[in-house]
Amino acid sequence: MSAQFITIEGSEGGGKTTNLELMKTLLEDAGIPYVVTREPGGTELAEQLRELLLACRDEPVTPQAELLLMFAARSQHVENFIKPELAKGNWVISDRFTDATFAYQGGGRKLSWQLIEELELIAIDGFKPNLTLLLDLDPNIGLGRAAQRGEFDRFEQEEIEFFNRVRSAYLRRMQEDELRFMLVDASQSLEDVQTSITKQFNAFLEQHR
């Protein structure tokens, strides 16, 4: 079976980092070779764009500039890292991908869905993950969890309404492509979240190994 491209998504404090470790363990247990990456980022240039995107700054960043930089980074990431790794037979797990652009720049910044779909075609020729784990959580809970980590980046300084729109946009993405998504209620205890992920992800591995 061909190597699979898996993404992890969700708004602040949903536990992406924590549960990415669990997915790594499940892949190792199944003897599947994999690499881990993230967005924005994943190549030298894309990581430089990440720094520019996340830095807090006095100059306002227009939603359009933010959108174009996200896709510039993603184009580099897909061509220079993700596709070559898949071609080598390694599964790829990415902490965020294009669904995050629909959620943050579409939902959060209110840019048009159609514009993002067009850029997805231009920048990455519509390249999509095989599976997306969506950690869904009320932003009031998520921001509380994220606050325990310390300093906020440029996105984390947004108002609660921004994160409510991000959450709704993620759920809209899922409704548009239900077979690709694995939805997990991230408001549960970490133990329950991980039981649910283990069950669903192992079922996916059974089908695709």
Residue 25 phi/psi, 5-degree rounding, is -60, -40
Asked if 75 contacts 119 with a C-beta cutoff of 8 angstroms, the reply is no
Q: Closest approach of Cβ 147 to ligand Z5A, in Å?
A: 9
Shortest Å, Cβ 206 to ligand Z5A: 25
d(CA 159, CA 132): 26
The reply on whether position 14 binds ligand Z5A by CB under 6 A is yes
Q: Mask: binding to ligand Z5A, 128-147, rule CB under 6 A, as x and -? A: -----------------xx-
Please report where in the chains the tokens 């994943």 appear, as a residue.
42
Query: Using the rule CB under 6 A, which residue among 36, 156, 198, 208 binds ligand Z5A?
Result: 156
**Cβ atoms of 124 and 174 closer than 8 Å:** no
Strand intervals (E) in 19-127? 34-38, 91-95
**142 among the known binding-site residues?**
no
The two tokens of residue 45 are 């240039």
Buried/exposed code over 20-50 (b: 16+ C-beta within 10 A; e: otherwise): bebbeeebeeeebebbbbbbbbbbeebeebb
Residue 191 assigned to a binding site: no
Task: Figure out which of the listed residues 155, 171, 200, 208 binds ligand Z5A, where binding follows CB under 6 A.
Answer: 155
14 is in an annotated binding site: yes
150 is in an annotated binding site: no
DSSP 109: T
* Binding-site member from 49, 93, 100, 123 for ligand Z5A (CB under 6 A): 100
Taking the least distance from each CB to ligand Z5A, the nearer of 39 and 136 is 39
Q: Which of 96, 165, 167, 173 binds ligand Z5A (CB under 6 A)?
A: 96
In the annotated binding site for ATP, the residues are 10-17
**Residues interacting with ligand Z5A, by CB under 6 A?**
10, 12-18, 39-40, 54, 70, 95-96, 100-101, 104-105, 145-146, 148, 153, 155-156, 186, 189-190, 193
